[in-house]
Structure 1
Amino acid sequence: MATVSPQEYSTESGIVMQQELDLSKFDSCILYYFIFGSCFGGFLIIIGLAGNGMTIAIMGRERKKSATINCLFMLAIADSLVLITYGFMLIPVGIRKQFFGWWDGHNYNNITMRYGTEITRTFNQVSAFITMLVTFQRYVSVCLPHRAKQLCSVRLVNILTAVSYVVSILFFLPNFFLYAIVEDSVTHRYRFISQPLVRSSTFQILYATVATGLMTYVIPVSNLSFMSIQILRAMKTQSKVMQKSDDRTQARKDLTLSSVAIVALFIICQSFDLVRRVLMWLYDPYTRASRCGGELQYFGFVPYITMIINSASNFVIYVILAKGFKKKVMRLLKRRNQVAPNETTNMTTN
């Protein structure tokens, strides 16, 4: 971290001093951060962590017996990591500004928002890969049942999950070196200076826009959409042949609907992050444009909230659309995590 002399930022320091004398214009922003970030975002994070915790508890004991259960277990862990990181980012921001003033925790907020965002995007990418893996399990089970034993194994899921973490970390690693932290010697507040890589049009086009768009949106969305459509077509054909469904078939239908709902939610939520990446290219630095007084001040938290919704909603989808899972939740609460193996298998296995 570098220390900036007063001469280099004398103009900016003067502006900062003026802002400190009159902070009334920040009232709307403080209220926005508090209500939309700390309260609404914090509520979603807490609910999401509770739901993912229930999913982990239900799937944990049976994950070695089924590739699908193992996928759902790994997905809940990845989503929980996303929510925990967002909790450190969003919850303190609005609370500090609302009760202790605009500048309270300024350096903490800057650091967590800049680097915490990339950490959450890394975990979110892992979640996207595992979502693809879950959908692939259903695709093979419904459309290619003769290859289920070969392609749907617990060991393969573990390997692909580990690969997902490695690939995601390596892909987003350059984003941690795009800005340098500088400290104003007058206010002792941190700010970010764009590095040459950020100002490179080649880097912005090839990596920040094209490669990131493909990795985070185009590839997952196209694959998930294709597999979901094929699953629905196969299920429709099977339903015409099989007039009466037994419990196992109904459980598969419920899980299929859950998978489709997860895919639809993923597509909607990830679209906002893609928009953010484009705006980061158009507004340099993006952190300044997304702060109070900037052109994007009310858009700044939107991609964060949508990604939180994506990581917090799977449990709700399971409860609403998968009757077997709902029964497991009730039995978990009543019998202290004693999950019946047969019913667990009926709900999620291939």
Structure 2
Amino acid sequence: MDAEASTSWPEVSSSGTPSTGHADTALCTWYNIFMRDIFGGLVIVVGLVGNGLTIVIMGRDRRKSSTIRMLFYLAIVDSLILIVYGIIAMPTPLLKLQDLYVEASNHQVISISVLSYVGQTLNQISVLFTLIVTWQRYVSIYIPLKAKIYTSSDNTNKMAVAATLFAVIFFLPNFFHNSFTTDSTGELQPLAEPFSKNSIYQMIYSISLLYLFSYVGPIVALIVMGTTLLQNIRDSFKKKATMKAKEELTLSLVGVILIFIICQSISPLRRILMWVYAPYHIAVQCGNVLFFFGPIYLISFLVNSAANFIIYVLFARGFRRKVFKFIRRNRRVDPVQQFGLSWTLAQNTNGDGGPIETSFVHPC
């Protein structure tokens, strides 16, 4: 699947279905298998394991900190993204390798017209959750007197629900862009609905609003807040040799923001390339100029949803200790002890009227 959620079917395939399966050379076939199935599969496995550990560790203490609560929610959404985009990316090259071109074509049709929109909806939720957790961290540092109100558990849950509802409602029209028919060979043929081909609709909704809410707005906000948070970390580090737990948490969020910006930038870059190398579905075919770029769009979503756990392990010492402790305890033979784990989390106040916040640091 090489189509973006905002891309109309006439832009994807002039013949109605993704083509080029029979024309793939060995290099093209194995490049797709490596990128989508081998590398993509590895990212999915690592991401699901990492997000699973994050859910277990942070889920136990999500009631003690709004930041931990949002990171817990974010790990759940990222896991769903890995599953959906894994289903989109992996089957097609394997089906083509077995000469199942009708099945591969049908999988591409379903992926482009249905699954991609599910993935885009989940990605929008992930974008908003990242924005919320960064804003909460910003408030707790720079507006501490308001932090207790703004980052309370109730407000955190309300923001998470509102972000989810907004993403679902915003992407809902995409699911009605196409209807389907089947030709004599058994291949699904998408039929674009008239409203989805309207140039005004595409310009306002599929391009302007989509990138405003999914990329431009969040990226600008994250850059501003991330830069400010990073400056706070630098100032704190100059005053002392080591960082406290809350500063490690802030540094972890800065790392999440950086990976987010890099991975999410692939989508607007792809849109620009679609304009420059129109028609795009020809440009990404085997042997053409954008063939090697094609799978990177999908891989960027996988990497973005799998990277957070690695960032937490690298920058948050307490979280890293808890991961190792969890792994060691689950290696024990006695299964009874696994259900009697005692998870003691250090708590600290920000010292300036902010809320009590669960840290990643194991108590000494």
* TM-score, normalised relative to structure 1: 0.84
CA distance in structure 2 between the aligned counterparts of 1:121 and 1:285, rounded to whole angstroms: 22
1:265 matched to 2:278: no
CA distance in structure 1 between the aligned counterparts of 2:179 and 2:119, rounded to whole angstroms: 20
State the partner residue of 2:195: 197
Q: Which one-letter code corresponds to 1:215 in the other structure?
A: F
Deviation at 1:290, TM superposition (A): 4.3
CA distance in structure 2 between the aligned counterparts of 1:181 and 1:112, rounded to whole angstroms: 13
CA distance in structure 2 between the aligned counterparts of 1:50 and 1:291, rounded to whole angstroms: 34
Do 2:24 and 2:286's aligned partners in 1 also have CA atoms closer than 8 Å? no
Deviation at 1:144, TM superposition (A): 1.6
Pair 130,24 (structure 1): closer, same or farther in 2 beyond 3 Å? closer
CA distance in structure 2 between the aligned counterparts of 1:276 and 1:53, rounded to whole angstroms: 31
Q: Which one-letter code corresponds to 2:209 in the other structure?
A: A
Higher helix share: 1
1:32 matched to 2:31: yes
Q: 2:292 aligns with which of 288, 298, 304?
A: 298
CA distance in structure 2 between the aligned counterparts of 1:270 and 1:347, rounded to whole angstroms: 27
State the partner residue of 1:347: 360
Q: Which one-letter code corresponds to 2:182 in the other structure?
A: E
State the partner residue of 1:83: 82
Do 1:52 and 1:80's aligned partners in 2 also have CA atoms closer than 8 Å? yes
Q: 1:208 aligns with which of 187, 206, 210?
A: 206
Task: Point out where structure 1 has 5 or more consecutive residues left out of the alignment.
Answer: 1-11
CA distance in structure 2 between the aligned counterparts of 1:300 and 1:168, rounded to whole angstroms: 26
Q: 1:311 aligns with which of 302, 305, 309?
A: 305
With 55-64 and 98-107 compared, the bigger mean Cα shift is at: 98-107
Q: Superposition pairs for residues 65-104 of structure 1, below 5 Å?
A: 65-104=64-103
CA distance in structure 1 between the aligned counterparts of 2:309 and 2:235, rounded to whole angstroms: 28
Q: Give CA-to-partner distance per residue, 1:113-145, whole Å, 9 cap, x none.
A: 431111111101101111111111211122122
With 55-64 and 28-37 compared, the bigger mean Cα shift is at: 28-37
Secondary structure of the equivalent of 1:340?
coil
Secondary structure of the equivalent of 1:181?
strand
Q: Give CA-to-partner distance per residue, 1:266-301, whole Å, 9 cap, x none.
A: 111111112334556778886566455776443332
Deviation at 1:258, TM superposition (A): 1.0
1:118 matched to 2:139: no
Do 1:45 and 1:83's aligned partners in 2 also have CA atoms closer than 8 Å? yes
Pair 201,284 (structure 1): closer, same or farther in 2 beyond 3 Å? farther
CA distance in structure 2 between the aligned counterparts of 1:294 and 1:181, rounded to whole angstroms: 29
State the partner residue of 2:334: none
State the partner residue of 2:351: none
Do 2:66 and 2:151's aligned partners in 1 also have CA atoms closer than 8 Å? yes
Q: Give CA-to-partner distance per residue, 1:153-205, whole Å, 9 cap, x none.
A: 122111111111110011111222223323222x1211323333343221222
CA distance in structure 1 between the aligned counterparts of 2:167 and 2:280, rounded to whole angstroms: 23
Deviation at 1:33, TM superposition (A): 2.1
Do 1:209 and 1:278's aligned partners in 2 also have CA atoms closer than 8 Å? no
Deviation at 1:345, TM superposition (A): 2.1
Do 1:178 and 1:194's aligned partners in 2 also have CA atoms closer than 8 Å? yes
Secondary structure of the equivalent of 1:197?
helix
Give the fraction of aligned pairs with identical amino acids, expressed as a percent. Answer: 37
Q: How many residues align?
A: 326
With 260-269 and 198-207 compared, the bigger mean Cα shift is at: 198-207
Task: Point out where structure 2 has 5 or more consecutive residues left out of the alignment.
Answer: 1-14, 330-337, 348-356
Do 2:102 and 2:186's aligned partners in 1 also have CA atoms closer than 8 Å? no
Do 2:51 and 2:306's aligned partners in 1 also have CA atoms closer than 8 Å? yes
Q: 1:219 aligns with which of 217, 220, 230?
A: 217
